[in-house]
Amino acid sequence: MIETLDVIIVGGGPGALQLAVRFEELMSISGEEIKYLIIEKGESIGNFFFRYPVHGKLISNNKLYTGADPKSTFSERFNWNSIITDKKEMLTRNYSSDFYPDSRI
């Protein structure tokens, strides 16, 4: 039997991860199903972070150090390292206190 998909995501990098998280959130809110598939040529989804950035550090600093409360919307606005999600436990600040976190956290 051939399954019909709504979306096929080519590549399993940061954008694909963000899109998959958002699809899951939208499905839990709406109760509707979005059938999607991520196709990645590497060994696993997120394989991007094992190759890039080549120096092994995320390219923007950890937003624990904005001068404002790390849990404030001000700090979250500048948090380029984290997936955008309503699930705050997924934010980079919960995994590393390094100014420039390791890309493989």
Please tell me whether residues 32 and 66 are part of one structural domain: no
Distance CA 36, CA 4 (A): 9
Please tell me whether residues 38 and 13 are part of one structural domain: yes
In this prediction, residue 105 has a pLDDT band, given cuts at 50, 70 and 90, of low
Please tell me whether residues 73 and 100 are part of one structural domain: yes
Least confident piece of the model among 9-13, 31-35, 62-66: 62-66
Q: What is the mean pLDDT of residues 9-37?
A: 92
Query: Which pLDDT tens digit goes with each residue over 70-100?
Result: 778 787 777 676 777 888 787 777 888 887 7
Whole-model pTM?
0.71
Please tell me whether residues 37 and 75 are part of one structural domain: no
Residue 9: which of 88, 42, 17 has the closest Cα? 17
In this prediction, residue 37 has a pLDDT band, given cuts at 50, 70 and 90, of very high
Please tell me whether residues 105 and 64 are part of one structural domain: yes
Please tell me whether residues 63 and 29 are part of one structural domain: no
Tell me: pLDDT of 46 over 70: yes
Q: How many domains does the chain have?
A: 2
**pLDDT for residue 4:** 93
Please tell me whether residues 48 and 60 are part of one structural domain: no
Q: What percent of the chain has pLDDT over 70?
A: 93
Tell me: pLDDT of 19 over 80: yes
Residue 68: which of 78, 58, 57 has the closest Cα? 78
Please tell me whether residues 38 and 80 are part of one structural domain: no
Please tell me whether residues 63 and 46 are part of one structural domain: no
Please tell me whether residues 21 and 47 are part of one structural domain: yes
Which residue segment(s) compose the domain that 102 sits in? Answer: 56-105
